[in-house]
C-alpha cells in the first residue's frame, strides 16, 4: 500500500513543484501561442523570404528533441556569456519547441477559413495585416482551440524534462524528496498523481471540444 506520510511530510515540496510545473507550462503556452501564430502568419504571408524563415524554423525544431534545446540554453549559452537559470532556460526551451507545433495548428486553422473571406476583406480596402487581425484569425481560433489544449497537455508532460536542468518543478522536487527519504516507489507514484490531476481533466476537456467541433461541421 502507498505510504501517504510521504505526501503529508513533503507536502510543501510537492506543492512547490506543482506550482512551478503549472507556471512554466502556462508561460510557455502563452509564449508559444504568440510566437507560433507569428510563425504561422509568416508561412502563409505573400512574401517568399518570410515563408522560408517560417518553414525552416518549424521543420527544424519539430524534428529535434526538446532536451537538446534545453541543454543548449542551460549548458551551452553560458559558454557564450549568456547565463540562464534552470527555470528560464527550461521555459524558453519549451517555447522554442512548442511554437513549431502550435504554428502548424494555427496555420491549419487559418487555411480552413474560406479564401473568399480574405478576398472580400481585401477588396473592402483592409490591408493584409488588418484582414488577418480582424477577419481571418478570429474565425480560425475556433479550430485552433482543441489542438492548443493538446499542446498544453504536452507542455505539462514535457515540463518534466526541466528536472534535468534543475528547474524546481514536480519531477525535480520528486528527485529531491526521494534523495532525502530514500524512498523511490511511493514518491514517484504520488508525483504521477499530481501530473494526472492536471492532465486528465484537460484531456477530457479537449475530447469534449473536439466532439462538439466535429458535430458543428
Residue 188 near other proteins by CB under 8 A: yes
Residue 1 near other proteins by CB under 8 A: no
Under 8 Å between Cβ of 75 and 166: no
Residue 58 near other proteins by CB under 8 A: no
What torsion, rounded to 10 degrees, do the Cα atoms 152, 34, 103, 17 define?
A: -20
Of positions 102, 190, 191, 206, contacts other proteins by CB under 8 A = 191
**CA 166 centroid distance within chain:** 19
Of positions 76, 130, 133, 180, contacts other proteins by CB under 8 A = 76
Under 8 Å between Cβ of 42 and 52: no
What cell was used for 198? 492536471
Residue 82 near other proteins by CB under 8 A: no
How far is Cα 149 from Cα 1, in angstroms, rounded to an integer?
34
Under 8 Å between Cβ of 85 and 162: no
With respect to other proteins, which residue has the nearer C-beta, 71 or 128? Answer: 71
Site string for other proteins, 133-162 (x = CB under 8 A): --------------------x--xxxxxx-
Which residues here bind other proteins, judged by CB under 8 A? 59-60, 62-69, 71-72, 75-76, 79-80, 153, 156-161, 163-164, 171, 178, 183-185, 187-189, 191-192, 195-196, 199-200, 203
Amino acid at each position: 500500500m502507498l505510504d501517504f506520510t510521504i505526501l503529508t511530510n513533503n507536502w510543501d515540496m510537492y506543492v512547490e513543484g506543482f506550482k512551478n510545473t503549472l507556471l512554466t507550462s502556462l508561460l510557455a503556452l502563452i509564449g508559444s501561442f504568440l510566437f507560433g501564430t507569428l510563425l504561422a502568419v509568416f508561412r502563409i504571408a505573400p512574401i517568399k523570404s518570410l515563408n522560408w524563415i517560417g518553414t525552416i524554423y518549424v521543420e527544424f525544431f519539430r524534428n529535434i528533441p526538446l532536451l537538446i534545446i534545453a541543454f543548449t540554453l542551460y549548458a551551452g549559452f553560458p559558454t557564450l556569456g549568456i547565463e540562464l537559470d534552470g527555470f528560464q532556460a527550461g521555459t524558453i526551451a519549451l517555447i522554442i519547441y512548442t511554437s513549431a507545433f502550435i504554428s502548424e495548428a494555427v496555420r491549419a486553422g487559418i487555411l480552413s477559413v474560406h479564401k473568399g473571406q480574405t478576398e472580400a476583406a481585401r477588396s473592402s480596402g483592409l490591408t493584409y495585416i488588418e484582414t488577418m487581425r480582424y477577419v481571418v484569425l478570429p474565425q480560425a481560433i475556433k479550430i485552433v482551440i482543441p489542438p492548443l489544449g493538446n499542446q498544453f497537455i504536452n507542455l505539462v508532460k514535457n515540463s518534466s524534462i526541466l528536472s534535468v536542468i534543475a528547474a524546481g518543478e514536480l519531477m525535480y522536487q520528486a528527485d529531491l524528496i526521494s534523495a532525502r527519504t530514500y524512498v523511490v516507489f511511493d514518491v514517484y507514484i504520488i508525483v504521477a498523481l499530481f501530473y494526472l490531476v492536471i492532465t486528465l481533466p484537460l484531456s477530457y476537456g479537449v475530447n469534449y471540444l473536439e466532439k462538439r467541433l466535429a458535430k458543428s461541421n
